[in-house]
Amino acid sequence: MSLSRRAFIESATLSALLAQTQAAEKDPKTGMPMRTLGKTGQNVSLLGFGAGSRWLMYKKVEDAHAALDKALKAGVNYVDSAHSYGDGESETRIGSFLKGRRRDFFLVTKISARKGDDAKRQVELSLKRLGQDRVDLIHIHSLGNEADLAEIEAKGNVLDVLRSMKEQKVCRFIGITCHTDPAVLRTALERHPFDSTQMALNIAKMGNAAPSSVPGQGATGKLGFESIAMPVALKKGMGLTAMKVFAQEKLVGKAPVETLLRYALSLPVAAAVVGMPQVDHIETNLQVAKAFQPMKKEDMERLSNDMATQWKASIDRFFTGHVDA
pLDDT at 19: 53
Q: How many residues does the chain have?
A: 325
Q: pLDDT category, 13, cuts 50, 70, 90? A: very low
pLDDT tens across 182-230, in order? Answer: 999 999 999 999 999 999 999 988 875 444 444 444 444 456 899 999 9
pLDDT tens across 290-305, in order? Answer: 999 999 999 999 998 8
Q: pLDDT category, 7, cuts 50, 70, 90? A: very low
From the CB of residue 57, how many other CB atoms can be counted at a distance below 10 Å? Answer: 14
Give just the sign of the alpha carbon dihedral 123, 170, 273, 11. Answer: positive
CB of 139 closer than 8 Å to CB of 85: no
Q: Is the pLDDT of residue 251 over 80?
A: yes
Closest of 265, 266, 194, 272 to residue 229, by C-alpha? 194
From the CB of residue 152, how many other CB atoms can be counted at a distance below 10 Å? Answer: 20
Residue 164 or 311, more confident: 164
CB of 252 closer than 8 Å to CB of 246: yes
Give just the sign of the alpha carbon dihedral 46, 324, 152, 228. Answer: positive
Q: Is the pLDDT of residue 4 over 50?
A: no
Q: pLDDT category, 3, cuts 50, 70, 90? A: very low
pLDDT tens across 146-179, in order? Answer: 999 999 999 999 999 999 999 999 999 999 999 9
Q: How far apart are CA 174 and CA 91, in angstroms?
A: 18
pLDDT at 325: 73
Q: Is the pLDDT of residue 81 over 60?
A: yes
